[in-house]
Amino acid sequence: MNIAELQAYGYFALVVFLVIALYSYIYHLYSTDKKVGGHDYEKFSNMALHDDLGDAPVSPISDDKEK
């Protein structure tokens, strides 16, 4: 196998890897979205919409500390 062929295989493998990674990420996003106790990703938009110092954080950092 010469270098060009090797590059071609490597390239193909990279593309396959990226495609798999991408689709698994989509799957991950949508499945955690539905799960009870998972994230509701769309709620994160509120971090921009309700961003006054007095507004309640979407997921307060103090949640962690209480545990």
Q: Does 24 bind another protein (CB under 8 A)?
A: no
Question: Could you give the CA distance from residue 12 to residue 18 in angstroms, rounded to a whole number?
Answer: 10
Q: Does 31 bind another protein (CB under 8 A)?
A: no
Query: Three-class SS of residue 25?
Result: helix
The correct pick among 9, 11, 12, 27 for binding another protein (CB under 8 A) is 11
Question: Could you give the CA distance from residue 60 to residue 41 in angstroms, rounded to a whole number?
Answer: 15
Q: Does 1 bind another protein (CB under 8 A)?
A: no
The correct pick among 1, 2, 4, 37 for binding another protein (CB under 8 A) is 4
